[in-house]
Amino acid sequence: MIVKPVNLGSSVGIARANNRDKLIAALDEAFGFASRVLVEKAVTPLREINCAVLGDAEDARPSVCEEPINSDEILSYRDKYLSGGKGSKSGKSGGMSDLKRRCPADIPDELTQQVQTLAVKTFRTLGCSGVARIDFLNNPETGELWVNEINTIPGSLSFYLWEAAGVPFDELLDTMLQQAFKRHRERAALSFSYDTNILSAVSFGGTKGSKQ
Ligand SMILES: Nc1ncnc2c1ncn2[C@@H]1O[C@H](COP(=O)(O)OP(=O)(O)O)[C@@H](O)[C@H]1O
Ligand SMILES: [Mg+2]
């Protein structure tokens, strides 16, 4: 099983358990980080595939797929955020963009299309707009594919996935800004309040002047 605190991300507090004792220890650890914990069946063997989506519900397109390469069983906080840190030449961490990856992922065309279609569907179902990277779990033996999680900006701008898809960084930012303006115009056209007398007939016990 994989045990995850529901509200953290960055692999903090996530553990794999393959027996009862490890499961109990993993739950103890996870409940130290959140009051709700997710326990999932572990996908084994596991191949991870990520795909970003750009646009909105009306017009969304997928990036190329990438395959992050784990140095550990679970892609850890260290892998994600500290791998470019201390001791690296640049001296700063670039997070996911520094991580080892295959881009585009070395997977069959059919799977690439399946991931891209599901990525767009997920993005639209959740009503996303702008850029989001959607992470998948795949069992290469059975071909099963799961949406694992969706990552929002600024954590996961995934500019490298767009560069690989022929969208340079400035064009990506341009598209995102256009999306933001569009979203703003759409929101401005919506009503967020309306006049009502709904509370006028209610008497609140204990308020000044009231005897009931
Ligand atoms: N059901 C699962 N089966 C196998 N490995 C998993 C499963 N869920 C997560 N993992 C591993 O744990 C890592 C972190 O889990 P994830 O759900 O992506 O949480 P986070 O929000 O911390 O990124 C994944 O990248 C993957 O390596
Ligand atoms: Mg993740």
Domain ranges of the chain: 1-42, 45-188
What average pLDDT does this structure show over 19-43? 95
Architecture of domain 1-42: 2-Layer Sandwich (3.30)
Q: Which ligand is nearest to the CA of 147?
A: 1
Is pLDDT above 70 for 131? yes
Pairing state between β 101-102 and 60-68: antiparallel
Confidence (pLDDT) at 162: 95
Q: Which ligand is nearest to the CA of 12?
A: 1
The answer to whether domain 1-42 and domain 45-188 are alike in fold is no
* CATH code of the domain made up of 45-188: 3.30.470.20
Sheet holding 101-102, edge to edge: 101-102, 60-68, 47-55, 130-138, 145-152
- Between residues 43 and 79, the one the model is more confident about: 43
Instruction: Name every protein residue with a CB atom under 6 angstroms from any ligand 1 atom.
Output: 2, 4, 9-11, 14, 40, 42-43, 46, 48, 74-75, 135, 137, 148-149
Cα–Cα distance for residue pair 20/51, rounded to 1 Å? 34
Is pLDDT above 70 for 89? no
Is residue 83 very low, low, confident or very high in pLDDT (cuts 50, 70, 90)?
low
What average pLDDT does this structure show over 202-210? 65
Residues 124 and 60: beta-carbon distance below 8 Å: yes
- Between residues 6 and 8, the one the model is more confident about: 6
Mean of per-residue pLDDT scores for the chain: 86
Centroid of ligand 1 to alpha carbon of 101 (angstroms): 16
